[in-house]
C-alpha cells in the first residue's frame, strides 16, 4: 500500500464499539483432514502457503495508524515491521484431544482482544485431533472485513492460489436523469471557487497521508467541504430511496407492524461477560434446499426456521419461552458481485422467527411470509447505506468509545429494550474443495462471530461445498454450554423434512414433534392431612 487508507465510519465503528467484554473480531474454526501417511509439518506448510499468498491479500499486512486523541477515523498503513511469526501460532490441544476440547479453547481464545499495534489477525494451528484431523482457529478484526470479504479471504488462503483480482465495475450505459443532471449542475457551480478537480473532488493534498494533529484538522476541514458536494450529487438517488421508504410505510399494515419493533424480553438478552462459549455443527445444504423448495422459500428461511426451532425448544425447556415470537437480527450484504474489497459493506433487517408456532411446517411458512415483509421494508434503505457511511464528524471516535464503555459498565443491556433476541447470519462460501499445501483438505469451516450486550447469542452459517457449517458463539455467563443447542439443529432439519414429506417419520418422538414440557407433580400433602 503506497499510501494510507482512511477507514470509513462503518469500519471504524467496530473499533470504537469494542470493549473488553465485547471484542469485535470474527473468525472460524476450520477442520482439515491430512492424507494417510502424511509426513510433513502442517504448521510449517500452512505458514509457507500464507507467505506465498500475501500479495493476494495485502490487507494482512495493514495496521492501524491512529489519530491524536482519537479525534478522527484512523487509517490503514503497511506494517513495515511485519513478521508472520507474530500472527501464526502453534496451539496446544490438551487431552482428550477431541473437537469438544477444541471448541472450549476456541471460545476462550475468541474472548481475547487483538493487539492493535500490529495487523489485526491471528491464526492458531491445533494438531493431534483424532482421525488425522487438524484444527485451525482464525480471527480477523471486523473493521477490516465483513462476511463477504471473509469468504473471499478464505478462497485466497485455502484455495489453489489462482485468485483473479476483481476489476472495478464499469458503468457501460448511463440513462438520462434530468433531476440528477440538475443537482450535478448545481454542485459544479462550486467547483471553481473551491478549486475542485474535474471529477468534483477537492485536491488530494492530505487525505490521511499524515497523522499529526495539524494535518488531521486540515484534512477534516477538507472533508467537511467535500461532504455537502457529495450530498448534492447523491440527492437524486437518495430521493428515490426515500420515496421507496414512504411507499412501503404507506402500505396497509406497515405502520401497525411497527408495534412489534421491540423484541420480547428473554433470558438471552442480557449483558455479557468477557468469557465465551462456542459450538459448531454441520448439516447438508442439499437437504436444506429441498425443504426450501418444498416450502416455496429461500435457503436462509430454512436456516431461520432451524434456529427458531432450536431456540423454542431451549427456552421451552426452561419455562422461558415468551408468548410473542422471537426476532432475529439478520445482516444483509450490499456488496456487488465479485467485489472482494477489504471493508464492510453490510446492512441489516429484523425478521420474526415465529417461535410462537409449535408445528415446524406452519412455523417455516410464517417465517417465509415475515421474511418477505422484512426484506421489502429493508430494500429501500440499501441505496442510502453507502451514502450515509461516508460521513464523519471530528471527535466522534472518542465520543463513541466513551459511550460504549458506559453502556458496558452500567449493565444497561439487562434493562434496555432490544429490536432482536438473536443474531443469525448466512455467509455463502466456496462450492469446491479447498486445501492447504495441496494435500490437507478443508472439511469444515465453522464461523466464530460476535456476541454483544443484549444479543448474547450469535448464530452464523458458512456455506462450503454441499454443507452448511453452523457456528454458535455466546456470552458464557448467559449460555455457558452450547453443544446441546448445536445438536438440536440437525434434529430440526429432520423435523422440517418430515413435515414436508421429504423423509420418513423418525422413531424419535422429539424429532417429529417437540417434547412436551414435563408435567409438574402436585405437592405432597402434610402427613396430618392424609
Burial class (CB in 10 A: 0-12, 13-18, 19+), 280: buried
Q: Could you tell me the three cell numbers for 258? A: 411497527
CA distance 258 to 266: 20
Q: Name the residue ranges covered by the structural domains of the chain.
A: 5-158, 182-252, 258-396+419-424+450-512
DSSP H helical segments within 144-295, as ranges? 147-158, 178-188, 191-194, 213-249, 285-295
Sequence-distant (≥ 6) Cβ neighbours of residue 127 within 8 angstroms: 42, 43, 90, 93, 134, 135
CATH superfamily for 258-396+419-424+450-512 is Nonribosomal peptide synthetase, condensation domain (3.30.559.30)
258-396+419-424+450-512 shares the fold of 5-158? yes
Low-confidence ranges of the chain (pLDDT < 50): 161-208, 256, 335, 339, 343-344, 507-530
CA distance 175 to 181: 11
**Is the whole model's pTM more than 0.85, yes or no?**
no
Does the domain at residues 5-158 carry the CATH identifier 3.40.50.10190?
no
Burial class (CB in 10 A: 0-12, 13-18, 19+), 183: middle
Distance separating the N- and C-terminal Cα atoms of the chain: 85
Q: What SS3 state is found at 65?
A: strand
Cβ atoms 316, 258 nearer than 8 A: no
Which whole-number Å values give the CA distances from 247 to 349, 377, 379, 403, in the listed order? Answer: 18, 10, 12, 35
CA distance 66 to 210: 10
DSSP state of 411: T
Q: Could you tell me the three cell numbers for 98? A: 477431541
Q: Output the CA torsion 462→463→469→471 (10° steps).
A: 10
Amino acid at each position: 500500500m503506497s499510501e494510507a487508507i482512511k477507514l470509513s465510519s462503518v469500519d471504524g465503528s467496530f473499533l470504537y464499539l469494542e470493549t473488553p467484554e465485547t471484542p469485535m473480531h470474527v473468525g472460524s474454526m476450520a477442520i482439515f483432514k491430512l492424507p494417510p501417511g502424511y509426513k510433513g509439518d502442517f504448521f510449517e506448510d500452512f505458514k509457507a502457503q500464507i507467505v506465498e499468498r500475501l500479495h493476494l491479500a495485502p490487507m494482512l499486512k495493514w495496521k492501524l495508524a491512529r489519530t491524536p486523541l482519537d479525534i478522527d477515523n484512523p487509517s490503514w498503513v503497511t506494517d513495515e515491521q511485519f513478521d508472520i511469526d507474530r500472527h501464526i501460532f502453534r496451539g496446544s490441544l490438551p487431552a482428550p484431544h477431541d473437537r469438544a476440547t477444541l471448541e472450549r479453547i476456541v471460545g476462550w481464545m475468541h474472548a481475547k482482544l487483538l493487539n492493535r499495534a500490529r495487523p489485526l489477525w491471528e491464526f492458531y494451528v491445533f494438531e493431534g485431533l483424532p482421525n488425522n484431523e487438524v484444527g485451525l482457529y482464525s480471527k480477523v478484526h471486523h473493521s477490516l472485513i465483513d462476511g463477504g470479504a471473509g469468504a473471499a479471504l478464505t478462497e485466497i488462503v485455502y484455495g489453489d492460489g489462482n485468485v483473479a483480482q476483481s476489476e472495478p465495475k464499469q458503468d457501460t450505459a448511463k440513462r438520462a436523469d434530468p433531476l440528477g443532471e440538475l443537482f450535478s449542475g448545481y454542485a459544479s457551480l462550486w467547483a471553481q471557487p473551491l478549486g475542485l478537480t474535474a471529477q468534483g473532488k477537492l485536491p488530494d493534498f492530505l487525505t490521511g497521508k499524515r497523522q499529526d494533529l495539524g494535518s488531521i484538522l486540515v484534512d477534516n476541514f477538507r472533508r467537511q467541504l467535500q461532504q455537502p458536494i457529495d450530498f448534492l450529487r447523491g440527492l437524486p438517488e437518495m430521493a428515490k430511496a426515500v420515496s421507496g421508504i414512504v411507499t412501503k410505510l404507506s402500505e396497509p399494515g406497515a405502520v401497525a407492524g411497527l408495534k412489534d419493533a421491540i423484541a420480547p424480553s428473554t433470558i438471552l438478552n442480557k449483558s455479557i461477560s468477557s468469557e465465551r462459549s462456542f459450538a459448531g455443527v454441520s448439516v447438508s445444504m442439499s437437504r436444506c434446499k429441498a425443504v426450501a423448495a418444498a416450502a416455496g422459500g429461500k435457503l436462509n428461511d430454512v436456516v431461520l426456521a432451524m434456529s427458531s426451532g432450536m431456540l423454542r425448544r431451549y427456552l421451552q425447556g426452561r419455562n422461558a419461552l415468551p408468548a410473542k415470537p422471537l426476532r432475529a437480527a439478520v445482516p444483509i450484504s450490499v456488496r456487488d458481485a465479485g467485489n472482494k474489497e477489504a471493508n464492510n459493506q453490510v446492512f441489516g433487517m429484523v425478521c420474526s422467527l415465529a417461535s410462537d408456532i409449535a408445528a415446524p411446517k406452519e412455523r417455516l411458512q410464517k417465517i417465509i411470509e415475515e421474511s418477505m415483509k422484512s426484506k421489502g421494508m429493508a430494500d429501500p434503505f440499501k441505496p442510502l447505506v453507502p451514502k450515509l457511511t461516508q460521513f464523519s464528524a471530528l471527535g466522534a471516535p472518542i465520543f463513541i468509545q466513551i459511550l460504549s464503555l458506559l453502556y458496558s459498565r452500567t449493565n444497561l443491556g439487562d434493562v434496555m429494550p432490544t429490536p432482536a433476541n438473536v443474531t443469525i447470519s448466512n455467509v455463502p462460501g466456496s462450492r469446491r474443495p479447498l486445501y492447504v499445501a495441496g494435500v490437507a483438505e478443508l472439511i469444515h469451516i465453522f464461523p466464530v462471530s460476535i456476541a454483544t450486550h443484549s444479543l448474547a447469542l450469535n448464530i452464523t452459517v458458512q456455506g462450503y461445498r454441499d454443507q452448511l457449517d453452523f457456528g454458535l458463539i455466546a456470552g458464557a455467563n448467559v449460555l455457558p454450554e452450547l453443544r446441546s443447542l448445536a445438536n438440536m439443529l440437525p434434529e430440526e432439519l429432520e423435523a422440517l423434512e418430515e413435515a414436508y414429506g421429504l423423509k420418513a417419520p423418525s422413531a424419535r418422538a422429539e424429532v417429529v414433534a417437540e417434547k412436551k414440557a414435563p408435567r409438574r407433580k402436585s405437592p405432597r400433602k402434610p402427613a396430618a392431612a392424609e
